[in-house]
């Protein structure tokens, strides 16, 4: 099964990384969802918005993201946010 390699970092700290089935976030142009095989993409994240990662194993990873960029290339998703906080830090 194909999977995404996801990395989430904030301006001043590491947030989360791992393998995922999908990632969704809010950009300035609307909500976006990414699955393995997605075409390359660079988007600007909305001011404050949700981020949801469906990991290959375990419960969904939910975070609140404030600004930044969302990049997709060759099944690698990188979210670089001005600020990012996990909603479920035990994940």
The reply to whether 22 falls in a domain is yes
The reply to whether 82 falls in a domain is yes
Per-residue exposure over 11-48, b if at least 16 CB sit within 10 Å of its own CB, e if not: eeeebbebebbbbebbeeeeebebeeebeeeebebbee
Q: 69: domain range?
A: 4-86
Question: What global pTM score does this model have?
Answer: 0.91
The reply to whether 55 falls in a domain is yes
The CATH number assigned to the domain holding 68 equals 2.60.15.10
| DSSP helix/strand/coil, 45 | strand
pLDDT in tens, the chain (91 residues): 699 999 999 999 999 999 999 999 999 999 999 999 999 999 999 888 999 999 999 999 999 999 999 999 999 999 999 999 999 765 4
The reply to whether 91 falls in a domain is no
Question: Which residue is it, tokens 């947030």?
Answer: 15
Q: How many domains does the chain have?
A: 1
The reply to whether 58 falls in a domain is yes
């Amino acid at each position: 099964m194909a999977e995404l390699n996801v990395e989430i970092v904030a301006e001043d700290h590491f947030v989360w990384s791992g393998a995922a089935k999908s990632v969704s976030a809010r950009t300035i142009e609307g909500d976006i969802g990414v699955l393995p095989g997605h075409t390359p993409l660079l988007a600007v994240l909305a001011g404050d918005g949700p981020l949801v990662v469906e990991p290959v194993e375990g419960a969904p990873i939910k975070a609140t993201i404030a600004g930044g960029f969302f990049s997709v290339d060759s099944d690698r998703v990188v979210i670089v946010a001005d600020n990012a906080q996990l909603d479920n830090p035990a994940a």
